[in-house]
Amino acid sequence: MIDYNNPAVRYYQQVSDECIHYLSIDGVIFGFHQNQLNVLLLRWKGTNEWSLPGGFIKKKESVDEAAQRVMQERTGLDKLYLQQFHVFGEATRYDQEETWRKTTIPLQHIKWSERTISLGYYALVEHSKVVPSPDFLTDECRWWPLNEIPSLLFDHNHIIDVAIQSLRKQLTDQPISHLLPETFTIPELQRLHETILGYPLDARNFYKKVMASGTLERLSERRAGTPHKAPYLYRFAGTGHDAVG
Amino acid sequence: MIDYNNPAVRYYQQVSDECIHYLSIDGVIFGFHQNQLNVLLLRWKGTNEWSLPGGFIKKKESVDEAAQRVMQERTGLDKLYLQQFHVFGEATRYDQEETWRKTTIPLQHIKWSERTISLGYYALVEHSKVVPSPDFLTDECRWWPLNEIPSLLFDHNHIIDVAIQSLRKQLTDQPISHLLPETFTIPELQRLHETILGYPLDARNFYKKVMASGTLERLSERRAGTPHKAPYLYRFAGTGHDAVG
DNA sequence: TACCTTTACGTCAAAAGTACGTAAAGATTT
DNA sequence: AAATCTTTACGTACTTTTGACGTAAAGGTA
């Protein structure tokens, strides 16, 4: 007695046919706004429960393509900078019964696997360019500042933690450009680094370091409308983005 | 008309029931012997074709446990130092028809997925402690020096390449202990690092560096039977191994 | 005994990282 | 208009790390 009027049931029916079972993608989409790291979250239909965007891998699709597709749908952006950062493969990752109850998904109507292995990807996007849109299991899609994120469904709080650790590790290797607009000032770049690392940096030394990296190109314009001395605008000279997708 | 006398058919039948489809584990088991990195490979039954050890994830088992199990069976060792290093998730990773022909697996008798996503793990083991044993699709299991590895089945040459790159990256963070016996000399540790990195290191500077790391503990004994000045033996003071499993 | 190789240290200079100084730009206050 | 304040865009000086190279002692071989 399967209730095909329920959109969740229809969704899982389709996924069950088209996609790979036991395996999913969870996406931590990072944005930077008002000196805060933000993560894009979804509120499940008719509930007050939030989760990361995610999805399943089609049988004839690479996992990178699947991640790209899932994140694209939530952000409205293409060619996202994606990084695969961890596989969450515990046999029991969270309380399944509790989770399905919270989502109000009628589990008994769904023929789906008992456990899911999740491939964790993070995306670095330009906050202002994103047009958040929910999928059809969710009512709302919006940015959450990292330090205000509520208790999420599944093990998604944990996944975000691991994503941030990976992001910090990446930052020590190379300056991160993908979270800022095309042009930005050095102080703005510094705020971004400080926010990701979680501690303040010395402006003089930061300036020296990013200059020495050779990846920045100074434009002739300055940022207008600042209350103080107008800072120069810069652009990343490194042409190619080097992530997947 | 399924040939249940064929062991491969029986194996895949069992895997099909017990394990997760579309998903596999490939293990790059590194050993260090005679100043060379070695990788454990398997020769498929009745062929001259070699591949990495691998396996599938049981439906109620974590992926780390599965990796531990698969590698354990080939090496005879437990509590292996394992590191998950990449997910190989291309829609087409290799020429399937060619591969199945080479393995002489009767594909037409097997109900298995059209593509496989592979979780790449590497293991660092003490070469002398390993007792290589083939699984029942293979006739032979033995060490291959890294620079003599033949053209392998599937995309396993590529997987080994990626594993080595990850291993090199890890080495820059922390000295690697798991490939050496409990006690070793500084020059032996240096040879290991040189082999992984692929270039020679200055003995004086290497000595200083590992001493400064504070992770080594000098024993009172020296290595006997060397043609020259007997070097001291050392042990890693860092008690806890920090990998999965 | 002379000689050679290897170990187990040491020295010194270059490079990278860290603390902090300061003049100029632009707004705000007196 | 002048003084003040904050911020930028540099610079200087010191410290730590890294890298090139020196060398005496240990143990074998010619």
Rounded to a whole number of angstroms, the distance from the CA of A33 to the nearest CA of chain B is: 31
CA A108/CA A243 separation, integer angstroms: 40
Strand, coil or helix: A136: coil
Q: Please give the angle made by the CA atoms of B244, B147 and B36, to the nearest 5 degrees.
A: 65
Work out the mean pLDDT of chain B and round it to a whole number.
92
Could you tell me how many helices (H) and strands (E) chain A has, helices first?
Answer: 6, 10
Q: Please check whether residue A84 is in contact with residue A167, taking contact to mean a CB–CB distance below 8 angstroms.
A: no
pLDDT confidence bin for A8, thresholds 50/70/90: confident
Instruction: Give the separation between CA A168 and CA A124, rounded to whole angstroms.
Output: 13
Say which nucleotide is closest to residue A222, CA to C1' distance. Answer: D8
Show the 3-state SS of chain B.
CCCCCCHHHHHHHHHHHHEEEEEEEEEEEEEEECCEEEEEEEEECCCCCEECCEEEEECCCCHHHHHHHHHHHHHCCCCCEEEEEEEECCCCCCCHHHHHHHHCCCHHHCCCCCCCEEEEEEEECCHHHCCCCCCCCEEEEEEEEHHHCCCCCCCHHHHHHHHHHHHHHHHHHCCCCCCCCCEECHHHHHHHHHHHHCCCCCHHHHHHHHHHHCCEEEEEEECCCCCCCCCEEEEECCCCCCCEC
Full 3-state SS string of A87-117: EECCCCCCCHHHHHHHHCCCHHHCCCCCCCE
Instruction: Evaluate whether A117 touches A23 at the Cβ level (below 8 Å).
Output: yes
3 state DSSP class of A128: helix
Judge whether residue A245 has pLDDT over 80.
Answer: no
Nearest partner of A120 among A175, A54, A165, A182, judged by Cα? A54
Rg (CA), chain B: 20
- When pLDDT is averaged across residues A165-192 and rounded to a whole number, the result is 92
**Pairing between strand B50-51 and B54-58?**
unpaired
**Nearest CA among A50, A66, A48 for reference residue A58:** A66
Mean pLDDT of the region B21-48:
97
Over residues B89-125, the pLDDT tens digits come to 999 999 988 998 999 887 767 777 789 999 999 999 9
Which residue's entry shows tokens 């579309």? B22
Mean pLDDT calculated for residue range A128-145: 96
The mean-pLDDT minimum among A21-25, A107-111, B102-106, B224-228 falls in A107-111
The residue of A18, A19, A56, A59 whose CB has the most chain B CBs within 10 angstroms, and thus the best one to mutate to test that interface, is A59
Q: At residue A241, does pLDDT exceed 50? A: no
Query: Does the pLDDT at position B231 exceed 50?
Result: yes
Beta bridge partners of A25: A55, A119
User: Out of B61, B84, B117, whose CB is closest to A91?
Assistant: B61
Instruction: Report pLDDT for A152.
Output: 98
The answer to whether the beta carbon of residue A230 comes closer than 7 angstroms to any atom of strand C is yes
Question: pLDDT, tens digit, for every residue of B126-162?
Answer: 999 999 999 989 999 999 999 999 999 999 999 999 9
What single string gives the DSSP state of each residue in A28-91? EEEEEETTEEEEEEEEETTSS-EE--EEEEETTS-HHHHHHHHHHHHHS-SS-EEEEEEEE--S
Nearest to A89 among B21, B62, B91 (CB): B62
Q: What is the mean pLDDT of residues A154-179?
A: 93
Determine contact, residues B121/B40, Cβ cutoff 8 Å: no
Confidence (pLDDT) at B225: 85
- In this prediction, residue A175 carries a pLDDT of 80
**Level-2 CATH architecture, domain A7-173:** Alpha-Beta Complex (3.90)
Contact between B60 and A20 using a beta-carbon 8 Å cutoff: no
Pair of tokens at residue B64: 């780390």
pLDDT in tens, A27-49: 999 999 999 999 999 999 999 99
pLDDT of B241 strictly over 50: no
CATH ID of B183-236, from 1.10.238.10, 3.40.50.300, 1.10.10.10, 1.10.3720.10: 1.10.10.10
Q: Is the pLDDT of residue A81 over 90?
A: yes
Q: Where are the domains of chain A?
A: 7-173, 183-236
Per-residue b/e over B39-70, b at no fewer than 16 CB within 10 Å? Answer: bbbbbbbeeebbbbbbbbbeeebbbbbbbbbb
Q: What is the residue type of A228?
A: H
A83 has which bridge partners? Answer: A122
Nearest CA among B11, B32, B10, B21 for reference residue B164? B32
- Nearest by CB to residue A89, choosing from B64, B91, B114, is B64
**Element at A216 (helix H, strand E):** strand A216-222
Q: What pLDDT shows up at residue A244? A: 59
The integer distance in angstroms from the CA atom of B224 to the C1' atom of C1 is: 25
Query: What is the CB-side half-sphere exposure of residue B211 using CA atoms within 13 A?
Result: 9
Q: First-to-last CA distance in chain B?
A: 41
Nucleic strand C near CB of residue A221 (< 7 Å) = no
CA distance A56 to A15: 7
DSSP A178: T
Evaluate whether A122 touches A30 at the Cβ level (below 8 Å): yes
Strand D bases with any atom < 7 A from protein Cβ: 5-12, 18-23, 25-29
